[in-house]
Amino acid sequence: MSRPIGKTLQSRILNPAIGLLLLAIPFCGAAPPPAPVEFRGAWVHYQDYVSAAAVSRTVAKAKRLGLNALLPLANHPDNLMFRSTLQPLNKKVQKGFDPLLELAKAAHAEGIEVHPYFLTLNGKLNGVGTKLAKFRMLDRAGKTSSDWLCPTHPEVRQYFVQLVTDCLYAGVDGVQLDYIRYPDDARFCYCAACRAAFKAESGMDPIAFAPQSRPTLAQLQDCRDRPGYREWSAWRRQQVTQLAKELSDAVRAKRPGTKVSAAAGTQEVDQFHVFRDGAAWLRAGLVDFLCPMMYVVDEEAFRTRAAAELLALRPQEYGSLFSGLPAYKLRGSPQRLVEHVASAREFGFGGVCLFPLEYLDESAVRALSDGPFQEPAVLPWRAAAASRPVAPQRTPEDFCRLGLVYKQTGDLERAKLSFYAALALDPKHADSLHRLAWTLAAMQPAGAAAPCFERFLAVEPEGVRADEARAALERLRQPAGAPTNPQ
Ligand SMILES: [Zn+2]
């Protein structure tokens, strides 16, 4: 028995033209809007997937939160959360239980991806420092003050290639590399292998550039472009990049489609402080995404950090950054987490990653699941290309504000670059022209500021700032004249 409506439908569909028209038009109302496209992850410590009960709790919590990815810590001192011949399984794991495999199964059943993260070169945190003791990083005196491992040794790189690829049997969706850098005191590595390899390439013994004691950031900033030291820094970056490349190649070769990421950002300071170049990895395709650890509490500081992370990237690359949010610092302040998520979205980040899941209490879970995570989100690589959000172009104000922060800390070089970034977006941005002119006037040669003052005056010919700019130009035109910044 067919109802009249069925007959009507049938007859219309028999007419190809009307049928096609009918199929193309939804029967009632508009089609639902597409799901938001966003990475929503949380880092997970071993306690939260050490047993079947812990796995169930964790996946249920992730589901309630509205997450679509979990990033469990896979290696701890001599305690793996998966099976490998290199190190034993975590002693807390019950016989017969396979934590990473079970987590992946349970998470996948809820549509959540799993990207285990690995502590790499920090040999103390991962417990491999004693196992590979002869490959530790050495300071100028040939001593090691830490268990950090030197990536120049092929044995170190091969160890991590095997360790990381060993976990792929668990059916994970990606792997993340953490501590893939030098320690943050810039006193390493002067082992025989590093000295010999650098000397063979450059003809220089890097011991000539070795600091006597831990340098400050200002000292590093000061010497980063000096001939010799500049090459030595670049060479160290290359050692870390080589490790990232070998890991990435091996993972993708063994299980094509597996995502590779790093707990790393793109700030320029990383290049001469910890010798890591996240922006270059992203651009070269060594990683699919980066999670910069933006662990600041204050919202304004968070936004400044967000702008700083974007400085080295093109707008189409912003979406490959997933902002690491400090859940551990924001216990009891769920509203601040919500604000951080909003800021990350506003700046064009492709998602967020909370550190760690265990620090999200009920109030934080509610604030996020009732707020920014209310609608389920699709992971960027699972969304149709057309529905991926286009990252908003950053505004000149963002980069101008960043430049001001750098200027206030005395970092004129980066202040200058930030103002240039603002002016690339809007060549007539008066605040940026004004601040850039005064920044250039404080640098050598001060005369380089003159055209910038002129550009500023063309945009803002009236007012106090214009009067000051004219006075500055007058002084610059006098022999050896350098204007004094009235600010
Ligand atoms: Zn070395």
Closest by CA position to 186, among listed 121, 236, 113:
236
Give distance in angstroms: CA of 176 to centre of ligand 1.
Answer: 24
Residue type, 106: A
Distance 143 CA to ligand 1 centre (A): 11
The answer to which of 241-250, 312-321, 343-352 has the lowest mean pLDDT is: 312-321
The DSSP letter of residue 483 is: P
The band of 22, judged by pLDDT with boundaries at 50, 70 and 90, is very low
pLDDT of 8 higher than 60? no
SS3 helix, strand, coil % of the chain, rounded to 5?
Answer: 50, 10, 40
pLDDT at 13 over 70: no
Q: Distance, CA 153 to ligand 1 centroid (Å)?
A: 7
pLDDT category at 417 given cuts 50, 70, 90 is confident
Lowest mean pLDDT among 6-15, 141-150, 220-229, 433-442: 6-15
Nearest to 92 by CA among 129, 128, 53: 53
Yes or no: say if 306 and 323 are a contact pair by the CB < 8 Å rule.
yes
Q: List beta partners, residue 43.
A: 71
Torsion of CA 156, 162, 163, 168, to 10 degrees: 150
Q: Which stretches of 29-151 are DSSP H helices?
A: 52-65, 99-109, 123-126
> Residue 96, class by beta-carbon neighbours within 10 Å (0-12 exposed, 13-18 middle, 19+ buried)?
exposed
CA of 190 to the centre of ligand 1 (A): 5
**Residue 34 confidence (pLDDT):** 75
List the domains of the chain with CATH numbers: 39-387 (3.20.20.80), 396-477 (1.25.40.10)
Distance 249 CA to ligand 1 centre (A): 23
Q: Which residues of 358-380 are buried (b: 16+ CB within 10 A; e: fewer)?
A: bbbeeebbebbeebbbeeebbbb
pLDDT at 444: 81
CA of 428 to the centre of ligand 1 (A): 49
Residue 282 pLDDT exceeds 50 = yes
Cα–ligand 1 centroid distance for 122 (angstroms): 14
Q: What pLDDT, in 10s, does the model give residues 152-202?
A: 999 999 999 999 999 999 999 999 999 999 999 899 999 999 999 999 999
- Mean pLDDT over the full length of the chain: 89
CA of 177 to the centre of ligand 1 (A): 20
Question: Who's near 133: CB < 8 A, 6+ residues apart?
Answer: none
- Confidence at 11, pLDDT banded by 50, 70, 90: very low
For residue 409, how far is its CA from the centre of ligand 1 (angstroms)? 33
Predicted local distance difference test score (pLDDT) of residue 79: 87
In terms of pTM, does the model score above 0.75?
yes
Cα 405 to averaged position of ligand 1 atoms, centre (Å): 36
What's the gap in Å between 337 CA and the centre of ligand 1? Answer: 40
User: How far is the centre of ligand 1, averaged over its atoms, from the C-alpha of 149 (Å)?
Assistant: 8
Question: Cα of 196 to ligand 1 centre, how many Å?
Answer: 10
Residue 84 has pLDDT above 70, yes or no: yes
Distance 368 CA to ligand 1 centre (A): 44
Q: What is the pLDDT of residues 192-251, one digit of tens each?
A: 999 999 999 999 999 999 988 899 888 888 888 899 999 999 999 999 999 999 999 999
What is the 137 CA–ligand 1 centroid distance (Å)? Answer: 5
CA 153 from chain centre, in angstroms, equals 26
Q: What is the pLDDT of residue 21?
A: 35
Q: What is the DSSP string of 27-54?
A: SSSPPPPPPPB-EEEEEE-GGGGSSHHH
**CA of 110 relative to ligand 1 center, distance in Å:** 44
What pLDDT band is residue 2 in, cutting at 50, 70 and 90? very low
Written in H, E and C, the secondary structure of 198-209 is: HHHHHCCCHHHH
Q: Given a cut of 60, is residue 10 above it in pLDDT?
A: no
Site of tokens 């893939």: 180
Measured in Å, residue 193 CA sits from the centre of ligand 1 at 6
What average pLDDT does this structure show over 324-345?
A: 96
Give the pLDDT confidence of 243-275 residue by residue, as tens digits.
999 999 999 999 999 999 999 999 988 999 999
- Check pLDDT > 60 for residue 390: no
Instruction: Say how far apart CA 175 and CA 259 lie, in whole Å.
Output: 6
DSSP of 291-340 = --B----SHHHHHHHHHHHHTTS-GGGGGGBEEEEEGGG-TT-HHHHHHH
Res 412: pLDDT: 87
CB atoms within 10 A of CB 190: 21
Separation of 211 CA from ligand 1 center, angstroms?
A: 15
* Three-state secondary-structure class, residue 163: helix
The CA distances from residue 198 to 25, 121, 180, 213, 484, in Å, are 67, 20, 20, 21, 44
Kindly give the pairing relationship between strand 75-76 and strand 79-80: antiparallel
16 C-alpha vs ligand 1 centroid, how far in Å? 73
Give me the amino acid identity at 261.
S
pLDDT at 12 over 70: no
Three-state secondary-structure class, residue 136: strand
pLDDT above 50 for 7: no
How remote is the CA of residue 159 from the centroid of ligand 1, in Å?
16
